[in-house]
Amino acid sequence: MNQTRKIRGLRWWIVGLIFLAAVLNYVDRQTLSALAPTIQKDLAMDDHDYADVVNIFLVAYTIAYLISGKIVDRLGTRTGTLVFVIWWSIANMLTAAAQGMRSMSSYRFLLGLGEAGIWPAASKAVSEWFPARERALAIGFYTMGATIGATCAPYIVIPLATYSYHEAWPWLQNLLGQGTGWRLAFIITGAAGLFWLIPWLFLYRKPRENRFLSSDELALIEDGETVQENLPVEPSWTWKQVLCFRPTWLLLLGRLITDPVWYFYQFWFAKFLSSERGISQEQLTITWVIYAAAGVGSLLGGWWSGALIKRGSNPVQGRLWVMLACACIVPLSPLISMATGLNATLAITVVTIIASLAWLINISSLVVDVVPKHSVGTVFSVVAAGSTIGGIIMNTLVASMVSGPSTKAAGFLDQGVQAVAGFLIDAVQGRGYGTWFLIMAFLHPIALLLLYFGKIGKFHDFAKPRTL
């Protein structure tokens, strides 16, 4: 009888597939921000309209986060990931049909519902396939896929948007109409996700069910978890258990406070360079630098905390030491708006982004460290919902800073944000990007103090839920 050939280092092949999914996820997401000047012109959208479209995407992202983790925990990593990739790929292709702010918002809402699911699925895959000492590095690796996707997006979509289709392919211009280039960009980048499904369905199973996994690698994956093997299988936590687990709230607030920094670089930094540094649409490919820095931060943050764990730190303490260093570096942010030249602006930006992504990798790893495997997806999704809420508040604040009061009637989303942070929005109206860079200086130190005094360090043994 022929035996199935084992794949050496299969866990890294698995995380490699997740890395590729993250690349596609961020190419699809960043298509809008990379082409924002062109799309805004074609669809007659001002900066407030742009902020509303981004916020609607984030609202959908928040909704999806709250349910996608539970879906992944119930369907399993393999099937759950399949559902979300199909959904977001088709939604991105449909965006090519947008004719104005409302239709663009609708398609981005659908995109957000699908894209959020990859992250709880990825965290669950890491909990299934990696021992504790390798988890942060694995999370850093697939998160680097997001930054590489964002890096590649301008080089893929800007040439598509600026090509002279009326001369080369007039039939395509007639088919897609005004904005042929950016519409084609959405179609092509969305279709790529459907091809990714082929290797995923072929390769992914749980370790003990995977015919390509060697016994030696299975033993490595399960290293340090032998005590749990003979325990009865526990059902995933109920919503009450999830919401009564103190780290859920500590990590949710930590990401709500700090993730807006990374959201700003994704959605607004290209516009900052365009308006404040005079960079044209074609020259905005320079933004690859910030995403390359994010990739470095992702790997560095994962490697560093992993090295501390190998030297004897428990996983939570190792993450917190790295996060302390990051919280001391991100406060350099105000210097970005003060710098007079593009090179100086980008140099300082690179340093702060490396620190902010190293922080993000480790705060994400804390979820995997303190939550039992059967409920990682659910808790991760609740924690990540705090991230998108912070992003929505940031978008509204920045739009107010750079554009002043809106001349249009406030929608339900604007009214909701105004009700929560109206005093802050009123205080920063028309003050420019510099105010936001100043605010960013305080976010990571505040979040670190919250985690420290909330005693997140006590939760490092996959304990059962503790009440508040």
Buried b (16+ CB within 10 A) or exposed e, 174-186: eebeebbbbbbbb
CA dist 301 and 256 (Å) reads 19
Q: Residues 103-127: pLDDT tens digits?
A: 888 999 999 999 888 888 888 888 8
Q: Residues 376-435: pLDDT tens digits?
A: 778 877 888 888 788 888 888 888 888 765 555 555 556 666 666 666 666 677 678 888
- pLDDT of 463 > 80? The answer is no
- pLDDT of 152 > 50? The answer is yes
Query: Is the Cβ–Cβ distance between 345 and 339 less than 8 Å?
Result: yes
**pLDDT band of 257, cuts 50, 70, 90:** very high
Query: Is the Cβ–Cβ distance between 378 and 153 less than 8 Å?
Result: no
Residue-level pLDDT at 408:
58
Kindly report the average pLDDT of the chain as a whole number. 82
Query: Is the Cβ–Cβ distance between 363 and 254 less than 8 Å?
Result: yes
Query: Is the Cβ–Cβ distance between 79 and 71 less than 8 Å?
Result: no
- pLDDT of 261 > 90? The answer is yes
- pLDDT of 337 > 80? The answer is yes
Residue-level pLDDT at 433:
86
CA dist 237 and 73 (Å) reads 10
Which domains, ranges and CATH numbers included, belong to the chain? 10-220+245-457 (1.20.1250.20)
Residue-level pLDDT at 404:
61
CA dist 120 and 385 (Å) reads 11
**pLDDT band of 443, cuts 50, 70, 90:** very high
Q: Bigger pLDDT: 463 or 264?
A: 264
What's this model's pTM, rounded to 2 decimal places?
0.70
- pLDDT of 468 > 60? The answer is no
- pLDDT of 365 > 80? The answer is yes
Long-range contact list for 309-312, CB < 8 A, 24+ apart? 309/132, 309/133, 309/136, 310/133
Query: Is the Cβ–Cβ distance between 140 and 302 less than 8 Å?
Result: yes
- pLDDT of 160 > 90? The answer is no
Residue-level pLDDT at 448:
95
Give mean pLDDT, residues 333-347. Answer: 88
Query: Is the Cβ–Cβ distance between 430 and 401 less than 8 Å?
Result: yes
**Least confident interval from 4-13, 124-133, 161-170:** 161-170
**pLDDT band of 312, cuts 50, 70, 90:** confident
Q: Considering the chain, what percentage of its residues have pLDDT values greater than 90?
A: 21
Q: Considering the chain, what percentage of its residues have pLDDT values greater than 70?
A: 86
Residue-level pLDDT at 466:
41
CA dist 254 and 351 (Å) reads 21
